[in-house]
Amino acid sequence: MPLEETLSKIVAWQKRRVSNRELMLVLAFIVGFLASVAAYVLHIIIGQIESLITSGFRMMTINWLYLLYPIIGIWLTGLFIRYIVRDNISHGITRVLYAISTKQSRLKLHNTWSSIVASAITIGFGGSVGAEAPIVLTGSAIGSNLGKAFNMDNRKLMLLVGCGAAAAVSGIFKAPIAGLVFTLEVLMVDLTMASLLPILISSVTATCFSYFFTGSAAMYDFHIDYLWSLDRVPPTILLGIMCGFLSLYFMRVMSWCENGFAKLSSRPYMKLIVGGLILSSLIFLFPSLYGEGYSSLRIFIEGKTELDWDSVLRGSMFAGETKFLVLYVGLVMITKVFATSATNGAGGCGGTFAPSLFIGGFGGFFFARVWNINHLGVYIPEKNFTLYGMAAVMAAVMHAPLTGIFLIAELTGGYHLFIPLIIVTICSYLTINIFEHHSIYAVRLARQGKLLTHHTDHSILTMMSMKNIIDKDFTSVKPDLEMGTLVHAISSSRDNYIPVLDDSGRLLGEIDINKIRHIIFRTELYHRFRVSQLMSPPAAELNANDPMEDVMKTFERTGAQYLPVVDIDGQLVGYISRIRLFDLYRQLVADFSAE
């Protein structure tokens, strides 16, 4: 039996026997399960590739193959995307935000698997990016396509996309609360009683199956040796401020590097050579930059002495040189952003979730070691501050303080560090917010006016599309026509306006019937006046690419009942009616607010 026929029978049975609310809960469970499977499969593939190609490496000496493997991985990823996927799958979380904002939460079917394959190749061969964004895109695509299969409306599709994202984060880190707040803070899905239960079901389902697949242990075996005390508040605040500036550095350098690689977009092999050489050289000098980097963070979180921490130097030119530990950590912290940018810029596939945790962890350890070496005050435990740094940078880069707090708390299996995590994330978030008002995922869309936010009015305008309200069925006239011919055109028109166009379709003006009503019945004037004498300029002209917020403001400013829409060359595309615009707005508000 064909898949389409089977699916149609399932949908028909569902409509008879299962309510929409019950269906949503069932789909939330399925999304959670599939997202956890996707996360498990991705990390298994990454681990197998990395184990296979690095099994013979000597840990105490440099390894020349670091110069080759990342380039091979990016090259293979590029071939996979170019010849199999044939679509852009980079910036996974940004693509989810874009789908929510402009595509009614519809993600392509290949997004349910393509990011897994591409990111596994990239990261397994050493690409210095994270697997979280590809899994979030995968989980969201699973939710979107399940919703489309059951003919869900746009609001329910958005909720299923949020369920997929929450399940992805929960499944990767075994952190259901972090998954929930990530969806609220980063994807900006509004929390209502109707949305809370499905997202929680997806998060908990993904977490439970991750426990089933990988065991019950937390991601890091963290044991708190030093309880938080008031005398450590000043260094915690200073770390938060430092992480805020470190996050700003991360975002600005990422943007600068992206712009640089964008200039090579027409020369893919040049991008591969430039990005591949930068990445492989950095990994050769600092092996901690290989892959996601969680193993290096584990050294700082689980280690207690300098002997434990020195293992992070293995495979580098600093191996065995304890005196260079702080220098090595500082250099890795600074260069990680270039390694991540080079990976994606050269054609690799991966996200910035893990790099932000990595930079934060190394930044927190660097801060604590410098503080303790110079005896600047009370002793501050390095492993605690490694965790604080992870939370602070992630919270600032993603503009998601709650996600940073709960993720680190759940990663370590407890909430003993809750108060310092709150302090450090607040300080970091407030610091970066002075300079950058959007997360690293949202900043691209915000600049284009395509970002969906918790502001209902702005969200509705973002979801509205010009193409859905432009009326392209109009009667036009030329400027040299006599008034008699114009009257004939008016009699065949259903509108109160007649656009005046030149031979190329450019808008010259318009005939407002209300303004010439007093003369159109005087036949003796039919040969006396021409259209060019009777037309008047429109109250304003809209551009086909104008954001809907600007369209609304133009209608309010002019008080017009209809306005023409022109393209970049000034050619008339159609008209927008004020009544039709506000009717659509009110309908979307009603749909958006429905429980």
At position 304, the amino acid (one-letter code) is K
Question: 555 pLDDT exceeds 90?
Answer: no
- The DSSP bridge pattern shows strands 470-471 and 497-501 to be unpaired
Edge-to-edge, what's the strand order for the sheet holding 562-566? 470-471, 572-577, 562-566, 542-543
Q: Do domains 17-214 and 458-593 have the same CATH topology?
A: no
Euclidean distance between CA atoms 548 and 565, whole angstroms:
12
Report CA torsion sign: 130, 131, 137, 139.
negative
Which residues contact residue 47 at a Cβ distance below 8 angstroms, ignoring those fewer than 6 apart? 124
Euclidean distance between CA atoms 279 and 103, whole angstroms:
34
Q: What is the mean pLDDT of residues 264-270?
A: 82
Query: Which CATH superfamily hosts domain 458-593?
Result: CBS-domain (3.10.580.10)
**Are the beta carbons of 111 and 138 closer than 8 angstroms?**
yes
- Domain boundaries 230-451, corresponding CATH code: 1.10.3080.10
What per-residue confidence (pLDDT) applies to 14? 64
For the chain, the 3-state helix, strand and coil shares in percent, each to the nearest 5, are 65, 5, 30
Domain residue ranges of the chain, discontinuous segments joined by +:
17-214, 230-451, 458-593
Question: 454 pLDDT exceeds 50?
Answer: no
What per-residue confidence (pLDDT) applies to 461? 58
Distance of CA 286 to the CA centre of its chain: 29
**Are the beta carbons of 326 and 306 closer than 8 angstroms?**
no
The string of pLDDT tens digits covering residues 97-127 is: 777 766 567 888 888 999 999 999 999 998 9
DSSP assignment letter at 232: G
pTM equals 0.77
Which residues contact residue 161 at a Cβ distance below 8 angstroms, ignoring those fewer than 6 apart? 96, 99, 100, 105, 107, 140, 143, 144, 147, 187, 189
Three-state secondary-structure class, residue 228: coil
Euclidean distance between CA atoms 73 and 353, whole angstroms:
20
Cα dist. 381→158, 326, 367, 393 in Å? 43, 15, 11, 18
Class of domain 17-214: mainly alpha
Euclidean distance between CA atoms 177 and 427, whole angstroms:
22
Where do we find the tokens 């950590």?
Answer: 329
Euclidean distance between CA atoms 235 and 424, whole angstroms:
9
Euclidean distance between CA atoms 201 and 189, whole angstroms:
16
Cα dist. 533→476, 492, 520, 530, 537 in Å? 16, 21, 13, 5, 12
At position 114, the amino acid (one-letter code) is S
Torsion of CA 490, 491, 495, 497, to 10 degrees: 10
Euclidean distance between CA atoms 357 and 393, whole angstroms:
7
Length of the chain: 595
pLDDT category, 56, cuts 50, 70, 90?
Answer: low
- The DSSP bridge pattern shows strands 497-501 and 562-566 to be unpaired
- The DSSP bridge pattern shows strands 562-566 and 542-543 to be parallel
Structure tokens of 416?
């003993």
The string of pLDDT tens digits covering residues 310-366 is: 889 887 888 778 889 999 999 999 999 999 999 999 989 988 899 999 999 999 999
What per-residue confidence (pLDDT) applies to 541? 87
Question: 193 pLDDT exceeds 70?
Answer: no
Structure tokens of 473?
């069925």
pLDDT category, 455, cuts 50, 70, 90?
Answer: very low
The string of pLDDT tens digits covering residues 470-485 is: 888 788 888 888 878 7
What is the maximal distance between C-alpha atoms in the chain? 104
Per-residue DSSP letters for 34-89? HHHHHHHHHHHHHHHHHHHHHTT--TTS--GGGGTHHHHHHHHHHHHIIIII-S--
The string of pLDDT tens digits covering residues 128-178 is: 998 888 999 999 999 999 988 888 887 788 889 999 999 999 999 999 999
Where do we find the tokens 């007093």?
Answer: 518
Report CA torsion sign: 318, 321, 327, 332.
positive
At position 208, the amino acid (one-letter code) is C
Where do we find the tokens 């069932």?
Answer: 26
pLDDT category, 13, cuts 50, 70, 90?
Answer: low
What per-residue confidence (pLDDT) applies to 2? 61
What percent of the chain lies above the pLDDT cut of 90?
38
